């Protein structure tokens, strides 16, 4: 699918391509792409909508359509050549990883250690 796109393709072409939507994300049918101060908000054409990221990934790997993923979720598939970046010169809004827990006066040390580990791993990943 991506091989048929011209080099340096613009997300303006996105509407004409099949997409696999992720119902867990806001904007299943619209994403804001940006590059050098220019923004494009195409209407996407989800041919399938899944409610879990691994299901979206399986559909994309099966060739059903394009998908939008966090980098860490597909870095192995990209490195192995099983997936390619489309609109690689463009970026999407950044998300984040959040640790959410109920308010409490005291938190278990293992919870704090896990959150610290997660934060350090994310900082290391971002520096790559």
Q: How many domains does the chain have?
A: 2
d(CA 60, CA 73): 13
What are the pLDDT tens digits along the chain (128 aa)? 444 677 778 899 998 999 999 998 876 677 899 999 999 999 888 999 999 999 999 999 999 999 998 888 898 999 999 999 999 899 988 877 778 888 888 888 998 899 999 889 888 877 76
pLDDT on residue 128: 65
Domain boundary among 79, 104, 119: 79
Whether 53 and 110 map to the same domain: the answer is no
Domain that holds residue 39: 2-79
41: CB partners within 8 A, 6+ apart: 30, 31, 32, 33
The closest of 100, 57, 62 to 76, measured between CA atoms, is 57
Whether 71 and 117 map to the same domain: the answer is no
């Amino acid at each position: 699918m991506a091989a048929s796109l011209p080099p340096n393709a613009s997300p303006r072409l996105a509407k004409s391509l099949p997409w696999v939507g992720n119902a867990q994300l806001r904007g299943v049918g619209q994403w804001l792409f940006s590059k050098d101060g220019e923004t494009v908000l195409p209407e996407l054409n989800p041919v399938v909508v899944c409610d879990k990221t691994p299901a979206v990934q399986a559909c994309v790997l099966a060739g059903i359509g394009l998908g939008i993923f966090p980098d860490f979720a597909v870095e192995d598939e990209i490195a192995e050549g099983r997936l390619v970046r489309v609109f690689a010169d463009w970026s999407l809004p950044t998300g984040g990883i959040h640790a959410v827990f109920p308010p409490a006066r005291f938190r278990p040390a293992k919870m704090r250690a896990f959150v610290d580990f997660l934060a350090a791993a994310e900082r290391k990943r971002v520096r790559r």
